[in-house]
Amino acid sequence: MAVKVDNYPTARPQSGLDKADVVFEQPVEGGITRYVAVFQCDDSSLIGPVRSARSIDIGILGQLAHPLLVHVGGIDPVLRDIVASPLVNVDLGQSRSLVIHHAGRVAPYATYTSTALVYGAHPDMTTPPHPLFTYSDTTPTGRAVSTVSINYSSTSNVTWRYSPSIHAFQRFYNGTTPDRLENGAQNTAANIVVQYVQITYGPWVENSQGALEVRADLYPDASGDAVVYRDGVAVPGTWQRSTLGSPTQFIDRSGKRIPLRPGQTWVEIVPNTILTTTTP
């Protein structure tokens, strides 16, 4: 199951991201980002705040065959496309029994859910998807890095800092502020996959300020540059994807798939107009 989680500054701190197997960070209108948190191996009793769907969600999640997409509404053309897609539409605005109203939070940041509630409403959804990645405990050859910085915007200026003691990257904002969840845990990932994508805007208006829908060229027969960060090294390569239902392939410069470290993975979908910077 995949849950749309808000990342506007007033939506923080979020809940449940530390239990996700994969977190996709996606650009949306206005320079902000949102998350698609994918759960399979672990459960979370509180996930949110859950917000509305976007067109880009179909491209991200189509590679998981028929996942549950949990969200709260969206503009009409996006909702029509989701219903027509392989994704299973789980709109909390229409399924109030799946909603947890989190005490102390106010709308639009008060809608939460849990894996138990959503899975319980879809007991027949038991077929696992195709694997997204390959894994290996062996550190690949790469350039040593200590930080990875992605300046999506002033509200989402992300830095991942490698911690050798835990063999993982820890997430910060503006270089110094730890990105912590409501339970106090800092967002941490064994793998950071930076996927550079061609972004366009429109034709739909997404909000009252006139911001246009963000569209990403993720399929069919799409490709671009990519860098996988794991074990404190950067492995440059490319990504390619043939169809909506086929997993994205991350390929190194020798033509082989880049193996990830076992553990949680964050996929940063970065517009190819943004330069990711690192420190050695």
pLDDT of residue 204: 86
Residue 218 and residue 111 share a domain: no
Query: What mean pLDDT is reported for the chain?
Result: 96
Pick the closest to residue 56 from 39, 33, 38 (CA basis): 33
Residue ending a domain, among 121, 155, 173, is 121
pLDDT at 120 over 80: yes
Residue 148 and residue 116 share a domain: no
pLDDT at 7 over 90: yes
Task: Give tens-digit pLDDT for 122-147.
Answer: 999 888 898 999 999 999 999 999 99
* CB-based contact 49:11 (threshold 8 Å): yes
pLDDT of residue 208: 75
pLDDT of residue 111: 97
CATH number (domain holding residue 201): 3.50.90.10
pLDDT-above-70 percentage for the chain: 100
Range of the domain at 263: 143-279
Task: Give tens-digit pLDDT for 206-215.
Answer: 887 888 889 9
Residue 158 and residue 115 share a domain: no
> How many structural domains compose the chain?
2
Determine the average pLDDT of the residues in 10-37: 96
- Domain assignment present for 36: yes
Residue 151 and residue 251 share a domain: yes
pLDDT at 227 over 90: yes
Determine the average pLDDT of the residues in 244-262: 97
Residue 243 and residue 162 share a domain: yes
- Domain assignment present for 43: yes
- For residue 140, CA distances in Å to 160, 166, 189, 259, 272 come to 19, 18, 17, 8, 25
Determine the average pLDDT of the residues in 162-177: 97
Could you give phi then psi for residue 158, rounded to 5 degrees?
Answer: -100, 135
* CB-based contact 7:33 (threshold 8 Å): yes
Per-residue b or e along 38-61, where b marks 16 or more CB atoms closer than 10 Å to that residue's CB: bbeeeebebbbbbbbbbbbbbbbb
pLDDT of residue 279: 95
Residue 193 and residue 82 share a domain: no
- Domain assignment present for 130: no
Pick the closest to residue 29 from 150, 154, 209 (CA basis): 209
